[in-house]
Amino acid sequence: MTDAQGKGAVLPVSKDPGDAILEFLRLAVAKELADAVILPMKVPSGDSFAWILMNDVSLFEGAVPIAAAMPVQGAKALRSLTRKGPGNLTVIAVMRPCEIRAAIELEKLGQVHTDNLILATYDCPGAIPLQKYVDDPGGSEEHFSLMRRSGKPDNTAKPVCHYCENFSMFDSDLHFGYFGFSEKEVLVIPGSDKGSELLKGLDLDLAKDLSDWKKGIDSLKAEREEARKSAFEETGEQLRGFSGMQSVFASCIGCHNCQSACPICYCRLCYFDSETAQQDPDALITAAAKRGGVSLPEDRIMFHVGRMTHMSLSCVSCGQCTDACPVSIPVAGVFSYVADRTQRTFEYEAGRNDGDPLPLRQFRKSELPGIHELVKNAESEEPSHE
């Protein structure tokens, strides 16, 4: 979805879009329009990236704004930076749309303060799963390069990226658009007053018409939507009934990696690790007698259901959870499917910065009859539990 209005500015490209962005950032810092930036940098071993907060312009060269992999979801980095408050210094963060969207959700949850952040996104062709990148950084970079040029995720990209519709401009302060320009031009589009002011400060005119670029984005989006439909159909089938859930999550080892990697999950202590979630031995044995057997540690599937309940309304389908799972459960596929449905039910879009409060924090009497209908419909769709 492109939200850009009308016009954008153009950045000259010498090497590649990432480079143009670096130059932009150098100027912004040099002109004191920002005090620091946060960007991915390749780690010394060359097989991963790390978020680096820096203000020394001479170090920018080593940074890779459009990184092939996403080891740590950017919103987590922003949380580390601004959890205690907005601070007094301005920082520009250049991240994938899903990372900025997650940051906006975290702001609603009091975990990120964006007052002094300038949030910038770029056209994202998808990301290579971390394990793949670590195993073959060179090959991954080649694939990613192709993806960047075509604007489409290929078969090496994370599964969720294939059907991500929010890969371009969203509710960020600035957006760098480059799909469809054969890496010769990068558009800079302001999305807010903060963004407009920064462009003004850099003497960048909003001269370029965006309609061609938008057309390209829209057609890419249509493809992603198709992929989304079929992916969700398949997921829906897999998850049918409680036994569906059980089979998808059967190999879960309860490591909670998905929770740790998720940018949204902000709890210090997961409810399922708390004292009250612990069962008495007698209660477990009684349950085993009643049901024929109880799998231990208990509540491994409930953990996922609980996590969905707590965060699916804010889920941005970044796919970190699948990346982090040591037993290759398609967590992101399941959570994206559920998030899609819950967000539609509450007419809420995760990552939007329009003042719409989180649905679970408010109660509208008018919703009550609707929920009754929902439950009735859901009951008629699904077969009864075994």
Partner 1 sequence: MKEFEMQESGQDRKLRAKVGVYICECGPNIAGKVDLDRIITDISELDDYQDVELVVKKYGFLCSAPGKEYLEEEINSNGFTHLVIGACSPRDHDSTFMGVCKKTDLNPYLYRIINIREHCSWVIDDKEKATVKAESYIRGGIARVLRQSELFEKPLDINPDVLIIGGGVAGMEAALSLSSDDRRVFLVEKTDRLGGVSIDLSGILPGQGEVIGKKIESVLGNGNIRVFLNTRVENVIGFLGNFEIELLSEENTEITEIMSGAIVVAAGGTLFDPRESDRYSYSGSDEVYTSLSIEKMFAGDDGAVLRSGKQPSSVALIHCVGREEKNYCSGICCSYMMKLACFFKKQSADIQVTEFYRDICLPKKNDQERFSEAQAAGVALIRIKDISLKGTNVSFERISGDKDKQSFDMVVLAPALEPSADTEYFADLLTVPLDEFGFFQEVHKMTNPVGTATDGVFIVGAAHGPKGVSDSMQFARASAGQILTRLIPGEKLIPEVAVTEISEAYCTGCGNCLEVCVYGAIYSDDSRGISVVNEAVCRGCGNCFGSCPSGALRTKHFTNTQLYREVDEALR
Residue 268 contacts partner 1 per CB under 8 A = yes
* Subset of 75-104 contacting partner 1 (CB under 8 A): 83-85
**Least distance to partner 1 from the beta carbon of 289, Å?**
11
Residue 355 contacts partner 1 per CB under 8 A = no
Contacting range for partner 1; rule: CB under 8 A; set: 146-154, 157-165, 230-238, 269-277: 269-277
Contacting range for partner 1; rule: CB under 8 A; set: 138-146, 169-177, 197-205, 264-272: 264-272
Q: Which residues pair with 49 in a beta bridge?
A: 42
Q: How far apart are CA 245 and CA 337, in angstroms?
A: 13
Residue 266 contacts partner 1 per CB under 8 A = yes
Contacting residue, 271, 294, 352, 367, with partner 1 by CB under 8 A: 271
Contacting residue, 270, 294, 301, 308, with partner 1 by CB under 8 A: 270
Q: In what order do the strands lie in the sheet with 174-177?
A: 49-54, 36-42, 91-95, 117-122, 174-177, 185-190, 7-12, 208-209
Token look-up 């699904």 returns 382
Q: Which residues pair with 94 in a beta bridge?
A: 120
The token pair at 178 is 């480059």
**Least distance to partner 1 from the beta carbon of 110, Å?**
5
Contacting range for partner 1; rule: CB under 8 A; set: 57-65, 168-176, 261-269, 347-355: 261-269
Residue 221 and residue 166 in contact, taking contact as beta carbons nearer than 8 Å: no
**Least distance to partner 1 from the beta carbon of 271, Å?**
4
Q: How far apart are CA 126 and CA 151, in angstroms?
A: 8
- In the three-class reduction of DSSP (H, G, I as helix; E, B as strand; rest coil), residue 12 is classed as strand
- Cβ count within 10 A of residue 301: 17
Nearest to 144 by CA among 70, 38, 222: 70
Look at strands 185-190 and 174-177 and give their pairing: antiparallel
Question: Per-residue contact track with partner 1, 135 to 174, x per CB under 8 A?
Answer: ----------------------------------------
- Cβ count within 10 A of residue 195: 19
Q: How far apart are CA 15 and CA 19, in angstroms?
A: 6
Contacting range for partner 1; rule: CB under 8 A; set: 28-36, 40-48, 293-301, 355-363: 355-363
**Least distance to partner 1 from the beta carbon of 48, Å?**
28
Q: How far apart are CA 63 and CA 96, in angstroms?
A: 15
Contacting range for partner 1; rule: CB under 8 A; set: 141-149, 162-170, 240-248, 265-273: 265-273
**Least distance to partner 1 from the beta carbon of 274, Å?**
5
Residue 369 contacts partner 1 per CB under 8 A = no
Contacting residue, 211, 251, 260, 286, with partner 1 by CB under 8 A: 286
Residue 122 and residue 103 in contact, taking contact as beta carbons nearer than 8 Å: no
Residue 34 and residue 92 in contact, taking contact as beta carbons nearer than 8 Å: yes
Contacting range for partner 1; rule: CB under 8 A; set: 44-52, 107-115, 182-190, 202-210: 107-115
- Contact set with partner 1 (CB under 8 A): 83-85, 109-111, 266-271, 274-277, 280, 283, 286, 310-311, 357-358, 360-363
